[in-house]
Structures are given as structure tokens and as C-alpha cells.
């Protein structure tokens, strides 16, 4: 049995424009790292967090990584095992890129590896969802499922949980830009209307079906024209500076499709090649700079592996 492990888990783009709460994919960067050690002192302790600018709780019952590690130990019947955790945030918090999910998944993958992979990555999803509930007040799976499984993931059903790995074109890149403005997930969810017109819902599930079909068919055009959200984006776009200008720029620069990542404020574009993705992030960052808004940018293939052990 290993005594110490360092794990990376990827950031994720939830919703993928039309698939609110049911679709998500993972990217190779950014992501978070967790270092975990077995110790002889019983209990889960959270030694340190870096990269969070002091925003995350150090109380092991309130921090998702340590709290979910406790759940895991209870589940495998070793509630008195001794664990030390370091969390190294390598991505922005509250960015719409599944920051809490990346931390939780890195922690879960680490502890599951230390305890001889007693659960599959898919079986870890419900644990990770508990972490999301703790962090965001809502136990969604559209970040944790792709973070754990890699690639594109469909959450067909929450009750019972039914997760499907979707195929995707071999050449598919994500251009992500995070404008440094504050959009807490809880507030972003509360803005959304609880009732919608059936005709808009029909438009939405036509697009969800189109996006899934495009992924199976390697049809970039179909993927692109399905990336339309008539229900949630119109509301969330308000929180993102010049959202429609950013979209127009991304599409003119050659994006297949463009939208809000999760609940924002990060935006993302899908492209067929890395060069186009880079150009998009450059153009968008330049525009945000002209608005005096700082931003971070990430260009990456769609992640194919989920969490990995480092070193």
C-alpha cells in the first residue's frame, strides 16, 4: 500500500451551452492538485491549502476535500484511518470551471488509490456530488462526473443516478477565458426562472439531442449549431461583461460553438485545432482588457483521462 500520493484532477465545462445540468466535459488545464498521506494518527487532517488566497475553509469538516475523505473512509469501514491532506489550488475559485469539483475529485481519487481502488471512478461520483452540495449548496454531477471520467459525460438521470460516457471527435479543443468578475454559483442559479415555456424547452432538447448526435457522428457543424441555449444563457449572460461581443469575436475567429462554462463567468469555445483556440483566447482577452477587466486563459484538448497520479 502506498503511503503518499499526489493527484491532479481536471477543470470541467458544465452544461456545454444547451445541456443545463446534464452535460459536461473535462479539459487538460487548469485543474487542482491534492497531496495525501497515510499517517498513524487517526482522523482526517487538512494541513494546508495553497492558491486559494485564503478563501477556502481549513476546518476539515467544512472543506470538501477533507469532509468527503471522511465520508469515503466511513463507507469502506475504516473511519479511524489517519490521513493528512494538502490542497494546491491551481485554478480560480468561483470561475464556472468546476473548481470545487476538481479539488474534491482529486481528493477522492487520491484516497481511493491509497485504499487500493476499492471503488471505480464511476462509483466515486455520488461521493463527489456530496462535496458539491457542501461547496455550492446543490449536489450537481455535471462537473464531478466529467472530472472523474474524463471526456464528455451525460447525466441522463439524477434519481437514480445514470451517467453515460459520450464519444467525441479526436480533434477537439477548448478555448477558455475567465474574466475576473464575481459570479457565485448559488446566485447564478437563483437568477434562473423555475418555470419555462414548453416551446422553449422543446427547442432546448432538440439542441441537446443534436449535440449528442454530433458527438457520436464526429460532425463539427452539428455540434456547433446545437450549441444554443434559449433558457439559461439569456439570464446568465447578463453577469458576463460584453458576453455577446465575446461570442461574436469567438465565432468570427473560427469557433465551432461558444458559451458560458457552468454558471460563469468563464466562457469557452470549442475548436477543431489548437491554433484557432489560441487566437480566440488572445482576441477575447484583448477585448476584456479594453474594458479594464483582467482575465485568465486556458487552451486544451478535451481531457481523455480524468484524474491522474503525478510523479
Is-contact 89 50, C-beta < 8 A? yes
195 part of the interface to its own copies, by CB under 8 A: yes
Eight-state DSSP code of residue 64:
H
Is 96 assigned to a binding site?
yes
**Complex with its own copies: residue 14 or 46, whichever CB lies closer:** 14
For residue 279, the minimal CB distance to its own copies (Å) is 28
- Let me know: does 277 contact 299? Beta carbons within 8 Å: yes
Q: How far is the CB of 16 from its own copies (least distance, A)?
A: 11
Rounded CA separation 72/103 (Å): 15
**Distance spanning both ends of the chain, measured CA to CA:** 17
Let me know: does 299 contact 170? Beta carbons within 8 Å: no
Among 225, 272, 274, 278, binds its own copies (CB under 8 A): 225
User: Does residue number 19 form part of the binding site for its own copies (CB under 8 A)?
Assistant: yes
Residue positions annotated with a catalytic role: 132, 185
**Pick 225 or 272: Cβ nearer its own copies:** 225
Contact status: 231 vs its own copies (CB under 8 A): yes
Cβ-contact 284, 267 below 8 angstroms: yes
Using the rule CB under 8 A, is 202 a contact of its own copies? yes
Round to whole Å and give the CA distance between 73 and 291.
Answer: 48
22 sits near its own copies (criterion: CB under 8 A): yes
φ/ψ of 268, rounded to 5, equals -145, 155
**Number of residues in contact with its own copies under rule CB under 8 A:** 39
Residue set of the binding site for ATP = 92-102
Q: What does the binding site for its own copies look like in residue numbers (CB under 8 A)?
A: 18-23, 154-158, 162, 164, 166, 192-199, 201-210, 212-213, 216, 222, 225-226, 231
Amino acid at each position: 500500500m502506498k503511503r503518499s500520493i499526489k493527484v491532479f484532477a481536471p477543470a470541467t465545462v458544465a452544461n456545454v451551452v444547451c445541456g443545463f445540468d446534464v452535460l459536461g466535459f473535462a479539459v487538460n488545464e487548469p485543474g487542482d492538485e491534492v497531496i495525501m498521506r497515510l499517517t498513524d494518527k487517526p482522523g482526517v487532517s487538512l494541513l494546508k491549502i495553497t492558491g486559494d488566497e485564503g478563501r477556502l475553509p481549513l476546518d476539515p469538516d467544512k472543506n470538501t476535500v477533507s469532509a468527503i475523505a471522511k465520508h469515503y473512509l466511513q463507507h469502506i469501514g475504516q473511519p479511524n484511518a489517519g490521513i493528512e491532506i494538502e490542497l494546491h489550488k491551481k485554478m480560480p475559485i468561483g470561475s464556472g470551471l468546476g473548481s470545487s469539483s476538481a479539488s474534491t475529485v482529486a481528493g477522492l481519487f487520491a484516497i481511493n488509490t491509497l485504499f487500493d481502488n476499492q471503488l471505480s471512478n464511476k462509483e466515486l461520483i455520488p461521493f463527489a456530488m456530496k462535496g458539491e452540495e457542501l461547496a455550492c449548496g446543490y449536489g450537481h454531477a455535471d462537473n464531478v462526473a466529467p472530472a472523474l471520467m474524463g471526456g464528455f459525460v451525460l447525466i441522463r438521470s439524477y434519481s437514480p443516478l445514470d451517467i453515460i460516457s459520450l464519444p467525441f471527435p479526436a480533434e477537439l479543443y477548448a478555448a477558455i477565458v475567465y474574466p475576473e468578475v464575481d459570479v457565485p454559483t448559488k446566485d447564478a442559479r437563483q437568477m434562473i426562472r423555475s418555470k419555462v415555456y414548453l416551446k422553449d424547452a422543446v427547442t432546448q432538447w432538440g439542441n441537446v439531442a443534436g449535440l449528442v448526435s454530433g458527438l457520436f457522428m464526429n460532425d463539427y457543424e452539428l455540434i456547433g449549431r446545437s450549441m444554443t441555449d434559449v433558457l439559461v444563457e439569456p439570464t446568465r449572460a447578463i453577469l458576463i461583461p460584453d458576453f455577446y461581443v465575446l461570442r461574436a469575436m469567438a465565432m468570427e475567429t473560427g469557433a465551432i460553438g461558444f458559451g458560458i462554462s457552468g454558471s460563469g463567468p468563464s466562457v469557452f469555445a470549442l475548436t477543431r485545432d489548437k491554433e484557432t483556440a489560441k487566437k480566440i483566447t488572445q482576441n477575447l482577452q484583448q477585448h476584456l482588457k479594453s474594458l479594464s477587466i483582467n482575465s485568465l486563459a486556458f487552451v486544451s484538448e478535451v481531457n481523455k483521462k480524468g484524474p491522474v497520479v503525478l510523479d
